[in-house]
Structure 1
Amino acid sequence: MVDNNHPSKNGPVVNGVLIMAMALAAVVAIGGFIAVFKATFV
């Protein structure tokens, strides 16, 4: 993981990329869960 206690010139960019990556991963995980749920129970 990135140590946010040590500021760097590209810190905000790295944080933005991490946030976007986590958001994308959350969307994919939720979408996959819904797909499995529908395939299993519908």
Structure 2
Amino acid sequence: MLTLSAQGLKKIIKWVKIKFSVNDRILAQRFLSIEKGRLNPI
């Protein structure tokens, strides 16, 4: 089992949160643009 210091673990959690929040934003923007396209077909 891999043991990490509390500080190392916090860094990893922070990095994961940042990575996922960026992905969520990209997905949310993509979803919103699709919804807008559905409401206002060009």
Q: Which segments of structure 1 move beyond 4 Å, counting only runs of 4 or more? A: none
Q: Give the aligned partner of residue 4 of structure 2.
A: 8
TM-score normalized by structure 1? 0.70
Bigger RCO (CA 8 Å, 6+ sep): 1
Deviation, 1:41, is 1.5
Which structure 2 segments of 5+ residues have no match? none
Q: State which structure, 1 or 2, has the greater radius of gyration over its C-alpha atoms.
A: 2
Higher helix share: 2
TM-score where L is the length of structure 2: 0.70
Alpha-carbon separation, structure 1, partners of 2:39 and 2:3: 48
SS in 1 for 2:4: coil
List alignment gaps of at least 5 residues for structure 1: 1-5
The percentage of aligned residue pairs carrying the same residue is 5
Aligned-pair Cα RMSD in Å: 1.4
For these two proteins, the number of residue pairs brought into alignment is 37
